[in-house]
Structure 1
Amino acid sequence: MVTEPGSALPDAVRGHWADRLAPASLRPYLRLARLERPIGWWLLLLPCWWSAALAAIAGGQAWPNVYHCALFLIGSIAMRGAGSTYNDIVDRDLDARVERTRDRPLPSGQVSTKSATIFLALQCLIGLAVLLQLNGFAIVLGFASLGVVALYPFMKRFFWMPQIVLGFAFSWGALMGWAAAFGSLSTAPLLLYAGTIAWVVGYDTIYALQDIEDDEIAGIKSSARFFGEKVKLGISTCYLFAVAMIGLSLVLAGVGPLGLMGLLLFATHLAWQVAKADRHDGVGALRLFRSNRDAGLILFAGLVLDALAKAAA
């Protein structure tokens, strides 16, 4: 489906305020930041919140640090926008060759590369302002993520599983919540990070099902193409590893029954996604991909309830 320049993109949330209420001159920039596709910042945010909740349980607190959670929200929106803008700058020629992405602001000519670069810098400044509110260890850790973020857009040109590199970047929050609370890391957040990487690879493989045919034409590599007809097996393997690693992390942090129930419901949601995934249904793939926000919130709710229960005991 081809859209008119300046109109809402096919994978945007219908009727989103960024496409309805924002001034027309700003809409291309909001689309560069993917504000009309909020699932991206949700998926960046949720590992931060999981990690903050895990730290609260380990530290005997009734709640995740609310101030940290608010900072992670602002930072996730800003840095997801920055990452998407950077990705679009790097991929502007490839995007022009894929039906779903050819009407993005850069390949369609709505925004110049220079303007996009300035917009990228502004978003990075917001992210920096957020990061500087944390302790020194967390600040250094946050800066360390930038190398992975810079590398990701190039991976799809020569690496069959670029989703793994995306997982390294999008899962970084699994380390940040713990680091912000304790000023250090331990085995529990590292296992949470490993499990979250596998979760990202799984859900982004579902997302990549939308573009298999165009990716083959453009020579873009993806896990969906790599798994081929065995894509359900690939996704389920990723999700099983994710649940196992996250489960070990929860046990090490002292999570109780309510948190483990949240993990069970999270795992059930992932199993439902695998059952519904269809290599030939791009529309359904987008719906399943977006449902990972709900899966992540289920796990977070279980961890918060567990923290409350432990503090009240």
Structure 2
Amino acid sequence: MEKFRQVLKDINELIVFKHSVFALPFIFVAMITASKLENGSMWFGLKLLVLGVLCAVSARSFAMAFNRYMDEDIDRPNPRCANRPSVDGRIGRGNLLLFIVANAVIFLVVAYFINSLAFKLAFPILLILGGYSVFKRFSEIAHLVLGLCLGLAPIAGAVAIGASVPLWSILLCLGVMFWVGGFDVLYSLQDLEYDKSAGLFSIPSRYGSDAAMFISSLFHAITIIFWFLFCISANLGFWAYLGVVIAGVILWQEHRIVRKDFNKIDKAFFTLNGYLGIMFFCFIFFDLWNY
């Protein structure tokens, strides 16, 4: 039993399960929005709730494990990554590959039981999820590729409910893409010097910290624009718009913290962005409740 607990602990450390707080609120935002617009009720049933969670968790586990598998050669020399289970030997490459394949299979099987469109889209989604690990080796747009990986969550949520891709889900996706891309640029400031020495294509390593801060701010400004457009497209009300405004304030505070002290990047990265996702869901939920 103790060995099993240690395996679970290592897997949790590998995929950083607590970071699911970034994507899960947005898949549920899409699901309750689609359900309310199409069926007049936010409740879409226990079956889709379970299948939606399984899809989100398996997709994220696949993406994180694949990234660790592909990045072992660049994680190993990086002091910040030296204690990761994929680097220090706690999870061998064979077991890691098995974990990747298992989560890909789970994702595809669950998508099959949702609807035919979800199953068809599941294959290109897996390719996109794996793409981040490749892009960081030759292009600065890797930050936005990572953002797209999480941004697909609201599109997946809409597809699960209505077997279609409405405009509002695309706008919500683009907002999430630039939101994640923006805070990933900030997070990459921690590895600026290492990325330079390793020849990796992060925005901070290519253009410096000042340019990275500006680009991150630009990404987050675009985020707010897309989320306002999402509210307009979905015909949402006051509480949804207020949620977007508060999201903008949280992002402003995030940049304020990082500008003052790069050592607080972890606080800005996880704490504030985690609150943002949950807050955004709550405001959309309350708005749809009074729709």
What is the TM-score with the length of structure 2 in the denominator? Answer: 0.90
What is the aligned-residue RMSD (CA, Å)? Answer: 2.2
Does structure 2 retain, via aligned residues, the 8 Å contact 1:57–1:255?
Answer: no
Residue of structure 1 equivalent to 2:198:
218
Does structure 1 retain, via aligned residues, the 8 Å contact 2:108–2:122?
Answer: no
Residue of structure 1 equivalent to 2:14:
32
Amino acid at match of 2:73: D
Residue of structure 2 equivalent to 1:17:
none
Residue of structure 1 equivalent to 2:24:
45
Deviations 1:160-218 (A, max 9, x none): 23111112212111211111121111221111111111111111112212211222222
Amino acid at match of 1:93: D
Residue of structure 2 equivalent to 1:6:
none
Does structure 2 retain, via aligned residues, the 8 Å contact 1:57–1:253?
Answer: no
Name the CA shift for 1:53/1:61 in 2 (closer, same or farther; >3 Å).
same
> Of 257, 273, 279, which residue of structure 2 is paired with 1:298?
279
SS in 2 for 1:207: helix
Residue of structure 2 equivalent to 1:56:
35
1:8-157 counterparts in 2 under 5 A? 23-35=5-17, 38-39=18-19, 41-59=20-38, 61-65=40-44, 67=46, 68-157=48-137
Amino acid at match of 1:55: A
- Shift in Å, 1:144: 2.1
Deviations 1:26-73 (A, max 9, x none): 5333332333xx11x222223212212332343363425353344333
Stretches of structure 2 that go unaligned for 5 or more consecutive residues are none
Residue of structure 2 equivalent to 1:286:
266
Aligned residue pairs, count: 287
Quick check: which one's helix share is greater? Answer: 2
Does structure 1 retain, via aligned residues, the 8 Å contact 2:52–2:160?
Answer: no
CA separation in 2, counterparts of 1:97 and 1:185? 42
CA separation in 2, counterparts of 1:64 and 1:254? 19
- Shift in Å, 1:150: 2.2
CA separation in 2, counterparts of 1:227 and 1:295? 28
- Shift in Å, 1:83: 1.2
- The more displaced of 116-125 and 237-246 is 116-125
Does structure 2 retain, via aligned residues, the 8 Å contact 1:44–1:170?
Answer: yes
Does structure 1 retain, via aligned residues, the 8 Å contact 2:55–2:107?
Answer: yes
Amino acid at match of 1:234: I
CA separation in 2, counterparts of 1:79 and 1:164? 18
Stretches of structure 1 that go unaligned for 5 or more consecutive residues are 1-19
Identity %: 21
SS in 1 for 2:86: coil
1:252-271 counterparts in 2 under 5 A? 252-271=233-252
1:131-280 counterparts in 2 under 5 A? 131-228=111-208, 229-278=210-259
Does structure 1 retain, via aligned residues, the 8 Å contact 2:155–2:169?
Answer: yes
Does structure 2 retain, via aligned residues, the 8 Å contact 1:45–1:72?
Answer: no
SS in 1 for 2:165: coil
CA separation in 2, counterparts of 1:294 and 1:81? 22
Residue of structure 2 equivalent to 1:308:
289
- Higher RCO by CA contacts (8 Å cutoff, separation 6 or greater): 1
What is the TM-score with the length of structure 1 in the denominator? Answer: 0.84
Amino acid at match of 1:137: L
Residue of structure 2 equivalent to 1:14:
none
- Shift in Å, 1:85: 1.1
CA separation in 1, counterparts of 2:3 and 2:244? 38
- Shift in Å, 1:280: 5.7
Does structure 1 retain, via aligned residues, the 8 Å contact 2:179–2:223?
Answer: yes
CA separation in 2, counterparts of 1:257 and 1:21? 51
Name the CA shift for 1:59/1:114 in 2 (closer, same or farther; >3 Å).
same
CA separation in 2, counterparts of 1:156 and 1:181? 33
